[in-house]
Structure 1
Amino acid sequence: MVHQNWARNLTYSARELVRPTSLEQLAEVLTGDEPVRALGSRHSFNDVADTHGVHVQVDALDDGRPAVDPLTPDGESTGVVSVNAGLRYGEVSRGLHATGRGLGNLASLPHISIAGAVATATHGSGDANQSLASSVVGLELMTPNGELRRLTRDEHPDVFGGCVVSLGALGVVTRVELLTVPTYAVRQDVAAHVPWDAFVSDFDAITGSAYSVSAFTSWDEPDVRHVWFKSLAGADGGNRPDVPASVRSWAGAPVHPLPGVDPAACTEQLGVAGPWNDRLSHFRLEFTPSAGDEIQSEYLFPRRKLGAAVEAMRAISATVGPLLQTSEIRTIAPDDLWLSPFDEPSVGFHFTWLSRPAEVLAVLPDVERALMPLGARPHWGKVSTVDARDQAELYPRFADFRQLADRLDPEGRLRGGLVGRLLAD
């Protein structure tokens, strides 16, 4: 069987893809003799989810509970919702909003699966917004011996930090428990052409002026092309954010992150307020977001290194720019998860490359030489040329994670691709 990831830049090695409809069927797969890996929405651009054995998707799994299940012990709402791990964020967010609840943040795409995004520390943007994994307060996973285990932050504080961003190395996650908030409204305004020197000097004021802020560039441009401000709107629809004088002009028509592309697939802009789940992501669930084949990379580094990072990228912009569709700059708040790259206030430089694999692989070492000395870490699900052992050494608690993986998967049947290289003896 041949199947590929979402962008078609990777052909998986698995001999079979199964979609169990019951926990019993999942246990049969997990207790077999072959290697097993969970597969989500296939939005990873590297082989972090790959295996030579069996791929398992849990989106059709029915464990006898609603796919989106508010947890109400003794009839009292906890603000926590238990969801099928294979659902996409867009599907879950619509269900939550309909019940008056919301999530604190979303990634740029609503098309990604809950478990896959959580396992790889995928994130949105916002000075006070943590990664998507940080809203997880519990999860259920089935280990290779067929045991279904529930782990929560309150009941398992010694290991929970290692169980969320887990790269699928501990078991197949069947349900995820997410902390929710009351639903809220967001408006989206886009500024154009912010000078680079002002963007760096006013960075704190710019990113602090709205709930979620993202900037788009190709690095070889004379200024930052667009800055997207997603502001809490309130009942009155809100106002444009109070930004520094360096933000001089506002877009008068909707824009797309990729220059010249029709913005029809993007969430509504021009300050029109709407539900959080229709604004925090850049793209609408009902549209295919890609402008075509692409390759993605991302590097996350300490926010205090922002000025040096911009300077380093601008220095290689003539090399990087011609291969880029776009690059996005985002901010992320810290958390305490073992394999999260966000152990202090952080910035992410995200790269959406043209689908020219050999040329991209040739230029990535230049990007990594610019950013890795500043404390950057590659995103777990994106393309990089950083050696797996070197990547593991960037995480102080990786040895603890290895021990946890050895305990839950002693035969190493959940190890393949990048995970196999990370945990190799």
Structure 2
Amino acid sequence: MKKRTFLKNSSLLVGGVLIQPILSCSPQKPDETMTSETLKNWAENFEFGTTNVHYPNTVEEVQALVKKCEKLRVLGSRHSFNRIADSNDNLISFQNLNKIISLDREQNQVTVEGGIKYGELCAYLHQNGYALHNLASLPHISVAGTIATATHGSGVENGNLSTGVAAIEFVNAKGELVQLSKETDPDFFGAVVGLGGFGPVTKVTLDLVPTFEVAQVVYMDMPMATLKDNFQAIMASGYSVSLFLDWKSDNVNEVWVKRKVVLGGALDFPEEFFGAKQAKVHMHPVQEMSAESCSEQLAIPGPWYERLPHFKMEFQPSAGKELQSEYFVPMANGYEALMAVKEMADQISSHLFISEIRSIKADELWMSTCYQRDSIAVHTTWKQEIPEVMALLPQMEAKLEPFNPRPHWAKLFTISSEKLQERYPKMGEFKSLLAKHDPEGKFRNEFIDQNIFGK
């Protein structure tokens, strides 16, 4: 995308809106854009560290807040399981900055405010003949929060959702608007997966593809031994593929295969798939749970945005009260990594709902979990047994250590900052870029200090 086009689009939304006369970062001086409320994250495994929460309505209000506050962080959709989005001082919610700004049919791009959720954006894109290249398993998450943490979908040829970004705009520590484009700004590759450290992301421009339909089926009880010689073939058998395991047997509980529907072509879903049988009823990844909240299965075609996520927008996603961890290892080591985790089956099986295995294509974004390596993600949805899970994570990380695992930035992990420095070749440049846009650490919090700066 041309930078001048991005700058032009930036003026389409906020013109003519009056800023509030007073914006304060002090709970003793409330204004119309601030509340004093206790917030929890989506899974309710922790409370945020401040009740000083701001709800700006315009980009100008965001800029004014940044200038006045000594410290602040942006909430996102509160779907993080660790404190990456937390602050002990001030929080900004973008729930009122969630609009579509423009659709550029010449560049095949859409520009949106940072607070928009994928579930709110996708229907609009489909109605206008467009799609995103992929989606995460949940449509409930915000665009800006998703790209800041390298959140992903699945598919051996699909990069994470951050790879669909063409340009971003954020408010730096001085309250200035900064625009970076993939086409013209080398710093773009360091700032997209920014971990919230560059300032509030006010706009995102996303690359689009023509809209398409997807059908998915679920296969039951695939022998785990089949993975040894067929792992990559299985992961490449659809546009998006997920393996679900509870580690209680020698089988993969469920294999979700999502395939593009080719116009005029036949749907090719065999009854048997590497020893697994096609399910004849709708399934939830956790078999004991109702499949009502899950996206349509049984090879019934539907729009991309209704099939690529595992869960429907109108329902509570996943298991609900839960914890999550996720580790990324090289694709070439995927099977070996699974076998390493399987060695812990007796220790972990009673504490989890389900584990999910997905593939993600390599990218060039400095802090992406898939930076320069095709990856397999080993995800686990745990029961909300915090002491037990936090004791198990270092053991799982030790099992995966030979494969240099990178943890999901928004999920639970205990990997040291020293090891993170080793696993991100651009970590030094990233810290320098943070210092350029936030020299005093206004947007840094305990998570950033500990994991990025080793403090």
Superposed pair shares fold, TM > 0.5: yes
Which residue of structure 1 aligns with residue 38 of structure 2?
A: 2
Instruction: Give the distance between the partners of 1:140 and 1:243, measured in 2 at CA.
Output: 48
Query: Offset at 1:17?
Result: 1.0
CA distance in 2, matches of 1:23, 1:117: 20
2:39 maps to amino acid: H
Task: Give the CA deviation at 1:374.
Answer: 1.1
Q: Are the aligned partners of 1:170 and 1:414 in contact in 2 as well (CA < 8 Å)?
A: yes
Q: 2:349 aligns with which of 298, 305, 321?
A: 321
Q: How many correspondences in the alignment?
A: 417
Superposed CA offset, 1:115-164 (max 9, x none): 101000000110100000000010111112110111101110x2111010
Contact 1:90 1:111 in 2 (8 A): yes
Aligned to 2:453: 423
Structure 2 equivalent of residue 260 of structure 1? 288
Partner residue of 1:55?
91
After superposition, the C-alpha distances for 1:211-270 in whole angstroms (9 at most, x for unaligned) are: 100010012322000000000012347413469852331001000011210000000000
Structure 2 counterpart of 1:32, from 60, 68, 86: 68
Structure 1 letter corresponding to 2:396: V
Q: Any idea what the Cα deviations from partners look like across 1:20-55, whole Å, max 9, x if unmatched?
A: 001221112101142111111000000111111111
Within-5 A mapping of 1:215-254 = 215-236=243-264, 238-241=266-269, 246-254=274-282
Look up the equivalent residue of 2:245 and give its one-letter code. Answer: T
**More deviation in 327-336 or 216-225?**
216-225
Which residue identity does 2:453 align to in structure 1?
L
1:171 aligned partner: 199
Aligned to 2:7: none
**Secondary structure of the corresponding residue to residue 393 of structure 1:** helix
Gap change, CA 1:209 and 1:244, over 3 Å in 2? farther
Given residue 112 of structure 2, which amino acid in structure 1 is its aligned partner? Answer: V
What secondary structure sits across from 2:323 in the alignment?
strand
Ranked by relative contact order (alpha carbons within 8 Å, sequence separation 6 or more), the top structure is 1
Cα distance in structure 2, aligned partners of 1:155 and 1:350: 35
Residues 1:46 and 2:82 are matched in the alignment: yes
Residues 316-347 of structure 1: CA distance to partner in whole angstroms, max 9, x if unpaired?
A: 11001111100000000000000012121110
Query: Are the counterparts in 1 of residues 159 and 362 from structure 2 also a CA contact under 8 Å?
Result: yes
Match of 2:314 in 1: 286
Which runs of 5 or more structure 2 residues have no equivalent in the other structure? 1-36
List aligned pairs for 1:99-114, cutoff 5 A.
99-114=128-143
Cα distance between partner residues in 2 of 1:244 and 1:286: 32
Whole-angstrom distance in 1 between the partners of 2:136 and 2:344? 28
Distance in 2 separating the partners of 1:359 and 1:245: 36
Q: Is the 8 A contact 1:37 1:56 kept in 2?
A: yes
Q: CA 1:45–1:53 in 2, change beyond 3 Å: closer, same or farther? A: same
Contact 1:199-1:224 within 8 A present in 2 as well: no
| Cα deviation 1:362-382 (Å, max 9, x = unaligned) | 111111011122111110000
Change (3 A) 1:194 1:152: same
**Residue 433 of structure 2 is aligned to residue 400 of structure 1:** no
- Equivalent residue for 2:443? 414
1:89 aligns with 2:118: yes
- Identity, in percent, stands at 37
Paired residue for 2:100? 67
Q: Distance in 1 between matches of 2:48 and 2:202?
A: 22
The one of 342, 367, 391 aligned to 2:396: 367
Question: Which residue identity is paired with 1:423?
Answer: F
3-state SS of 1:69 partner: strand
Say whether 1:22 aligns with 2:46: no
Alpha carbons of structure 1 residues 237 and 87: separation in structure 2 relative to 1, 3 Å? farther
The Cα offsets for residues 86-133 of structure 1, whole Å up to 9 and x where unpaired, read as 011111111101111000100000000001010000001101000000
1:380 aligns with 2:413: no
TM-score (norm 2): 0.89
- For the aligned residue pairs, the C-alpha RMSD in angstroms reads 1.6
Compare 227-236 and 352-361 and name the one that shifted more: 227-236
Query: Does structure 1 retain, via aligned residues, the 8 Å contact 2:56–2:97?
Result: yes
Instruction: Map 1:195-214 to 2 at 5 A.
Output: 195-214=223-242
Q: Mind listing any 5+ residue stretches in structure 1 that lack a counterpart?
A: none
Asked whether 1:116 is paired with 2:145, we answer yes
1:134 aligns with 2:163: yes
* CA distance in 1 between partners of 2:320 and 2:190 (Å): 35
For 2:360 and 2:182, how far apart are their aligned partners in 1?
A: 21
